[in-house]
Amino acid sequence: MASWQPLGLGGSVAERPPLDEAFLPGEGGGDPWEGGGEQGPGERADRAGRADLAAYRRARRRARTRRVGTGAAGIVSIAVAWQIAATICKDPVFLPSVTQTARTFLHYLDRPYPAQGSPLWYDALVSLRRILIGFAIGVAAGVTVGSAMSASRVVRHLIDPVIEVFRPLPPLAFIPLFIIWFGIGELPKEVLIVIGVVPIMAVTTVAALDEVPEDLRLCARTLGASRRYTMLHVQIRSALPGILTGMRISMAAAWTSIVAAELIAATSGLGYLIQQAGDYLDTALVLSGIITIAILGLTLDACLRGLLVLADPSRRG
């Protein structure tokens, strides 16, 4: 019955009579439909001055800087405790001090250590390469499987039990099998990472896509978006933060797999380095290898977290 009429929206917004003065948000008065007692998440914005969004964001940024400062203090206090323990213990084989470890780390960073003949950066690069290849393939496959499961009930019922069987298995149990199948080259390590990453990514992708409210899609459709546009710009976009969180979890799992594989069957990589250094009782070098893993892991996680912040503005600040 209702039909579109030139109800003041026909491109004549400027011609419409202005709202009652009392309704117009004045500079000091805030806005007419909000009192001071507004409850809800926006109250933070209101308190920091609803007239000044920038000030609110500055305040949140300051809070984040404080948080980072506190976090750094935690790490520093661990280092201090370690240094004190090493000083009391006086046995560099049992526990080298922070300074000894740092010296070893810097020394072998670009100098080959006696047992193996390659410097620290080389082993770090080898491990990083394995991680990135396995992770990329695993994420691509996992997201694809997850999307298919979310889109089709049949696919979901088909793949769900397979994942449920694989998910609780520690990837490390497959190492001997992969050595039999693929030898001790690069392939078994990458396959190991892939089988660790795929189930995690599939499960988190399904959860992220399922979580997109039906009404959000309907909302996009009533705003004039086609099915395809809604799929790409709403459903997948909306699931992105969940998928990125899955990637962070997968990345940690990938490091576990690769280091374990390198400890058992490898001739390069950080796991191999730690193994070798342990055999020669070079504890400072063992710790250097562990610290390298920590640095690489933190860096990769920071990259993913950066993407997550880009994808989900509510995590900013």
Partner 1 sequence: MIDSVGKTFRRGGRRTVALAGVSLAVQAGELVCLLGPSGCGKSTLLRIVAGALERDEGTVTVGGRTVSGPSPARGMLFQTPMLFPWLTTRKNMLFGPKAQRSAGLDERDDPELDAEADAILRTVGLAKFGDAFPHELSGGMQHRAAFARAIITRPSLLLMDEPFGALDAITRVRMHDFLLSMWDQYRTTIIFVTHDIEEAVLLGDRVAVMGGRPPGIQEVIDIPLGRPRHALDADTEAFLVAKRRIRASLTV
Q: Which residues bind partner 1 (CB under 8 A)?
A: 1-5, 7-11, 13-14, 16, 19, 23, 25, 31-35, 37-46, 50-51, 53, 56-57, 213, 215-216, 218-226, 229-230, 233-234, 237-238, 240, 311-314
For partner 1, the closer CB: 30 or 119 = 30
From the CB of 76, what's the least distance to partner 1, in Å? 33
Q: Which is nearer to partner 1, 220 or 251 (CB)?
A: 220
Number of residues assigned to the chain? 317
Of 22 and 75, which has the nearer Cβ to partner 1?
A: 22
Half-sphere exposure of 164 toward its Cβ, with a 13 Å CA cutoff? 6
Pick the closer one to partner 1 by CB: 31 or 210: 31
Give the nearest distance from C-beta 103 to partner 1 in angstroms. 47
Residue with Cβ nearer partner 1 (247 or 277): 247
Place of tokens 């796991």: 271
Query: Least distance from C-beta 47 to partner 1, angstroms?
Result: 11
Q: Name 44's Cβ contacts closer than 8 Å, sequence gap at least 6.
A: 56
Residue 144 near residue 209, CB atoms below 8 Å? no
Which tokens go with 90? 């006086």
Q: Look at phi and psi of residue 238 and say left if phi exceeds 0, alpha if psi is from -120 to 50, else beta.
A: alpha
CA atoms within 13 A on the CB side of 253: 27
At its nearest, how many Å lie between partner 1 and the CB of residue 237?
Answer: 6
Least distance (Å) between residue 229 CB and partner 1: 5
| Degrees, nearest 5: CA angle 37-40-41 | 125
The residue (of 16 and 111) whose beta carbon lies closer to partner 1 is 16
Q: What is the dihedral sign for C-alpha 178, 206, 137, 126? A: negative
The pair of three-digit structure tokens given for residue 39, joined into one six-digit string = 């409850």
Whether 274 and 211 have beta carbons less than 8 Å apart is answered as: no
Q: Which is nearer to partner 1, 226 or 299 (CB)?
A: 226
**3 state SS of 206:** helix
Q: How far is the CB of 190 from partner 1 (least distance, A)?
A: 33
φ/ψ (deg, to 5) at 242 = -65, -40
CA distance 15 to 12: 5
Residue 19 or 252 with smaller CB distance to partner 1: 19
What's CA 9's distance to the chain center, in Å? 45
Closest to partner 1 by CB, 44 or 62:
44
Of 173, 177, 145, which is closest to residue 256 (Cα–Cα)?
173
Q: Looking at residue 168, what DSSP letter applies?
A: T
Report the nearest approach of partner 1 to the CB of residue 19 (Å).
Answer: 7
